[in-house]
Structure 1
């Protein structure tokens, strides 16, 4: 049986990702002569040329593309194995690591993790971060699932899967002093102070398009992705916010916020994004099977 040197594959994979031995050398902290030697050894062992030089850049050959695909899978499995051992998954304790974008309502995060814990008794690790950061952690198996309000880019879908769990109508909420804006809505929002998500948010672009179509120009006084902060600012009378009803229901019931109106046709969706693993996680499998649309969110 022929054996492949694991380090050769790691070095080859990084050279392919960086497009040059010099850049890969900086990332791997390995000298360029050593990298060149390792690459040559791998090519000789496999009996194929993995790269060709084009305009001072190393470009994968046909066989090189095939080897890269296998090298990526082997690297992913190696990372998964390390995580599994570190997390002691072979004990009776179930561990579920969840990542959530900072734009995800805390109510939804709590509902998901509470359900997973109550039904499976799992130990939970919960992280928040940017889409790029969490997707990178998902690919390296540092987290097992991320809660997102964005679909993943098609280029990122290799071994990554997503399940839409909720789609909700966006409505406008504010403290009682703005209740008069119900009359003549949405024209009444013209010049009204608003607290909106940051510019890269889908809700932000959808709200702005809605206002443009209606010929309304509200006054944006603040932007934040944190829905908890949006709620606080709105209850203090700073301005109007744009959220699904399940996020504001408690404040409406306590009369700290009032619904001004619905933005017809403007919705937001939430997704569970995850990667397939060799050893299944019962807690992850459980939440992926749930119908969150039918659940009463707190």
Structure 2
């Protein structure tokens, strides 16, 4: 069985992070030719190319990106081990690695992780990507937990566990100066009104469209976005009605910059935490999952 040469892996890690042999060689204080030889030996031992070489530039192959993820985790774990053994500052620090779906509300992420972020003995590392990539990293044990607004069925990923950690009503939000002749009435006042909606792939969008279709209401779609951060920015800048969970625009609602017109009946956003079966799970994960507000948000 091929043994992994960690010295070679360290060289690969430097090349990948610096983006070139020249910069990596300068950082490691070795010659480019020596670095190139060590990289070639690593590729031969792994049986695959880690970089594509075109016009003197290097770009990671699919295998290279996977190896880089593992290398990041390996060297980060080594640093944690040294920090723990040295007991810096008299405190044993622990790390929790969190994957967050890139379309997920940042306010939800901060709220969910607030205890860990406030704990000076815990370092929180947050990595954003699509759900498929995050599940892959979770199964590879380079992440401890994944936060998502989509569930992962057990029959699809049998080595993972998905649980609801919070859910919230979805509201129609408008700028502070947005006015109606009378109090807002749902759904009739959406007829012809400019609206900002999640993209068509969103389950929220599908459910909302169904409600309007049943009522025979046709709004004017001013904009749509596939992530909550963009919806938040548009809601602040455009004179339109935005469909969004209140947690996404929490600061703007509290400041009065935006106002809630109504909660949409029978429409809720669900937030999930996904974990993987592990012999040695991160103990801090369970503390997060046991938070007293589990299952709902007080906004």
The verdict on a shared fold, with TM-score over 0.5 as the criterion, is yes
Secondary structure, aligned partner of 1:292: coil
Match of 2:55 in 1: none
**Closer/same/farther in 2, CA of residues 186 and 119 from structure 1, 3 Å limit:** same
The answer to whether residue 50 in structure 2 is matched with residue 87 in structure 1 is no
> In 2, Cα distance between the equivalents of 1:153 and 1:295?
21
**Closer/same/farther in 2, CA of residues 280 and 81 from structure 1, 3 Å limit:** farther
Residue 146 (structure 1) shift: 0.8
> In 2, Cα distance between the equivalents of 1:142 and 1:247?
28
Are the counterparts in 2 of residues 120 and 283 from structure 1 also a CA contact under 8 Å?
no
Give me the TM-score of the superposition, normalised by structure 2.
Answer: 0.67
Pairing 1:65-84 to 2, within 5 Å after superposition: 83=73
Are the counterparts in 2 of residues 111 and 297 from structure 1 also a CA contact under 8 Å?
no
Residue 81 (structure 1) shift: 12
**Closer/same/farther in 2, CA of residues 81 and 177 from structure 1, 3 Å limit:** closer
> In 2, Cα distance between the equivalents of 1:246 and 1:6?
50
Residue 119 (structure 1) shift: 4.2
> In 1, Cα distance between the equivalents of 2:250 and 2:126?
24
> In 2, Cα distance between the equivalents of 1:234 and 1:117?
28
Are the counterparts in 2 of residues 182 and 261 from structure 1 also a CA contact under 8 Å?
no
Deviations 1:96-121 (A, max 9, x none): 11111122111111122221233472
Give me the TM-score of the superposition, normalised by structure 1.
Answer: 0.67
Are the counterparts in 2 of residues 120 and 282 from structure 1 also a CA contact under 8 Å?
no
Structure 1: tracts of 5 or more residues without a match? 8-26, 31-78
Match of 1:158 in 2: 158
Match of 1:291 in 2: 292
> In 1, Cα distance between the equivalents of 2:185 and 2:192?
13
Match of 1:241 in 2: 242
**Closer/same/farther in 2, CA of residues 297 and 100 from structure 1, 3 Å limit:** farther
Secondary structure, aligned partner of 2:150: coil
Deviations 1:37-94 (A, max 9, x none): xxxxxxxxxxxxxxxxxxxxxxxxxxxxxxxxxxxxxxxxxx9999467414543321
Match of 1:260 in 2: 261
Residue 164 (structure 1) shift: 0.4
Root-mean-square deviation over aligned CA pairs: 2.9
Pairing 1:22-61 to 2, within 5 Å after superposition: 29=48
**Closer/same/farther in 2, CA of residues 84 and 174 from structure 1, 3 Å limit:** same
> In 1, Cα distance between the equivalents of 2:100 and 2:250?
21
> In 2, Cα distance between the equivalents of 1:227 and 1:170?
12
Residue 281 (structure 1) shift: 1.4
**Closer/same/farther in 2, CA of residues 267 and 229 from structure 1, 3 Å limit:** same
The answer to whether residue 272 in structure 2 is matched with residue 271 in structure 1 is yes
Structure 2: tracts of 5 or more residues without a match? 4-45, 50-68, 85-91
**Closer/same/farther in 2, CA of residues 113 and 249 from structure 1, 3 Å limit:** closer
**Closer/same/farther in 2, CA of residues 114 and 262 from structure 1, 3 Å limit:** closer
Secondary structure, aligned partner of 2:268: strand
Q: Size of the alignment, in residue pairs?
A: 227
> In 1, Cα distance between the equivalents of 2:277 and 2:218?
46
Are the counterparts in 1 of residues 154 and 160 from structure 2 also a CA contact under 8 Å?
no
**Closer/same/farther in 2, CA of residues 293 and 281 from structure 1, 3 Å limit:** closer
Pairing 1:100-119 to 2, within 5 Å after superposition: 100-119=100-119
Match of 1:197 in 2: 198
